[in-house]
């Protein structure tokens, strides 16, 4: 039976105190998802396979991407800034315009989640920049922060969702988890409304990288992607008027008329910033250095390219190194999920 989902979650309503459990209850009840009643473990070291299994526990195993399953793949170019070469000696910043594959997506591992569902937040923006002999992958989301600090905690969070279906006694595992983890509760309740377009949302790389330039000088950075079209989000009334695939349809139409452009920035850390904790956003006062421009020009016309594309954001390149341990586990977990959709 088709279910009606909560239209938006932005934390501004008077029902904020109960909205977290409402959102998660709705997420659990989404079509095409089997409930997992296995109680979540409290704390244990998680393997890459454990993390994939936890995603399937939360969203069901759809033989697709374990998370951000619904999306659209496009092609375009990346042009580096001169400032980027001062930060990193990576080949993608050498000055040549390079081809790029871009994927916009909805959250969850449910491939038919309505674009209008609040559970489809945060949105995703992944890109694969193709230099000679190397691909540099970037993965970002439309929220500045992550629900938990570590991959181990993320697996517990996901299993708590899977164990909290209809009929489970209160407090459910996810209610207990959110009560113990205020940052995760904020992540659930303070998402922005659905965007007007994938092209009108800002995106954040929540994990930290170490950039090293040709002189050997290093800096810790997090990524940001700012839309040239500006940030624009829908009102509740506008959301209700949209169809379940409005983001995919709108972006296809938009890019057929004009290029979609994003400016890529590195946010530079300062003393006291958390390098290995993606749940803590760095202060807005931190310096932003432009890395370049992503220009998206068309929806890919290569059959099955989306299914065949794997993003590995934790890969080390000369001048770019993962500084957050979560990136290493993500790099090991993504290929496991990739194999299930081949």
CATH number reported for the structural domain that contains residue 273 in this entry:
2.40.180.10
Name the least confident of 6-15, 229-238, 249-258, 288-297: 6-15
Q: Is the dihedral of CA 201, 202, 208, 212 positive or negative?
A: positive
Residue 227 lies in a domain: yes
Determine how β-strand 288-299 pairs with β-strand 71-80. Answer: antiparallel
Residue 248 lies in a domain: yes
| pLDDT tops 50 at residue 203 | yes
Active-site entry in 56, 68, 181, 317: 68
Q: Give Cβ neighbours of residue 25 (< 8 Å, ≥ 6 apart).
A: 164, 166
Residue 11 lies in a domain: no
Query: Quick one: pLDDT band at residue 329, thresholds 50, 70, 90?
Result: very high
If 0-12 CB within 10 Å is exposed, 13-18 middle and 19+ buried, where does residue 341 land?
middle
Residue 1 lies in a domain: no
Which residue reads 């992607």 in tokens?
225
The β-bridge partners of 76 are 100, 296
| pLDDT tops 80 at residue 210 | yes
Q: What is the CA radius of gyration of the chain?
A: 19
| pLDDT tops 50 at residue 5 | no
| DSSP per-residue string spanning 128-151 | EEEETTEEEEEEEESSSS-SSSSH
Residue 8 lies in a domain: no
Residue 5 lies in a domain: no
Query: Quick one: pLDDT band at residue 173, thresholds 50, 70, 90?
Result: very high
| pLDDT tops 50 at residue 39 | no
| pLDDT tops 80 at residue 25 | no
Which residue reads 């594959």 in tokens?
101
Residue 323 lies in a domain: yes
Query: Quick one: pLDDT band at residue 40, thresholds 50, 70, 90?
Result: very low
pLDDT of residue 342: 67
pLDDT of residue 64: 86
pLDDT of residue 12: 29
- How far is it, in rounded angstroms, from Cα 191 to Cα 114? 16
Residue 247 lies in a domain: yes
Q: Find the mean pLDDT for residues 69-78.
A: 98
Identify whether 68 is a catalytic site residue.
Answer: yes
Q: What is the DSSP letter of 192?
A: P
> Hey, what are 60's tokens?
């069901």
Structural domains of the chain, count: 1
Q: Find the mean pLDDT for residues 39-55.
A: 80
| pLDDT tops 60 at residue 32 | no
Give per-residue pLDDT as tens, 84-101. Answer: 999 999 999 999 999 999
Q: Find the mean pLDDT for residues 107-132.
A: 96
pLDDT of residue 15: 31
Give per-residue pLDDT as tens, 307-325. Answer: 999 999 999 999 999 999 9
| pLDDT tops 50 at residue 3 | no
pLDDT of residue 11: 32
pLDDT of residue 61: 86
Mean pLDDT, the chain, rounded, equals 89
| pLDDT tops 80 at residue 284 | yes
> Hey, what are 331's tokens?
């790099």
The β-bridge partners of 293 are 79, 263
Residue 155 is part of which domain span?
Answer: 16-340
């Amino acid at each position: 039976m088709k279910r009606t989902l909560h239209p938006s979650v932005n934390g501004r309503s008077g029902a904020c105190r109960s909205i977290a459990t409402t959102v998660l209850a709705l997420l659990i009840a989404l079509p095409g998802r089997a409930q997992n009643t296995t109680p979540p473990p409290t704390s244990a070291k998680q393997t890459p396979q454990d993390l994939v299994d936890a995603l399937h526990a939360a969203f069901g195993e759809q033989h697709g991407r374990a998370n951000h399953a619904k999306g659209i793949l496009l092609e375009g170019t990346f042009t580096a800034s001169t400032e980027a070469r001062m930060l990193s000696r990576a080949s993608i910043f050498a000055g040549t315009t390079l081809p790029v594959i871009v994927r916009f997506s909805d959250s969850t591992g449910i491939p038919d989640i309505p674009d209008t569902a609040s559970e489809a937040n945060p949105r995703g923006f992944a890109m694969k920049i193709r230099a000679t002999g190397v691909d540099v992958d970037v993965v970002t989301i439309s929220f500045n922060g992550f629900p938990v600090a570590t991959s181990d905690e993320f697996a517990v969070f996901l299993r708590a969702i899977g164990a909290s279906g209809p009929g489970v006694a209160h407090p459910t595992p996810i209610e207990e988890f959110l009560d113990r983890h205020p940052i995760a509760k904020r992540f659930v309740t303070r998402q922005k409304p659905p965007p007007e377009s994938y092209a009108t949302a800002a995106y954040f790389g929540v994990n930290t990288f170490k950039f090293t330039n040709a002189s050997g000088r290093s800096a810790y950075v997090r990524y940001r992607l700012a839309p040239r079209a500006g940030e624009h989000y829908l009102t509740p009334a506008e959301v209700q008027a949209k169809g379940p695939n409005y983001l995919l349809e709108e972006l296809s139409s938009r890019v057929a008329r004009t290029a979609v452009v994003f400016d890529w920035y590195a946010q530079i850390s300062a003393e006291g910033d958390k390098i290995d904790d993606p749940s803590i956003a760095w202060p807005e006062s931190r310096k932003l250095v432009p890395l370049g421009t992503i220009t998206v020009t068309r929806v890919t016309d290569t059959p099955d390219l989306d299914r065949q594309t794997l993003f590995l954001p934790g890969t080390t390149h000369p001048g770019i190194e993962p500084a957050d341990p979560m990136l290493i586990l993500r790099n090991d977990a993504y290929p496991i999920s990739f194999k299930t959709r081949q």
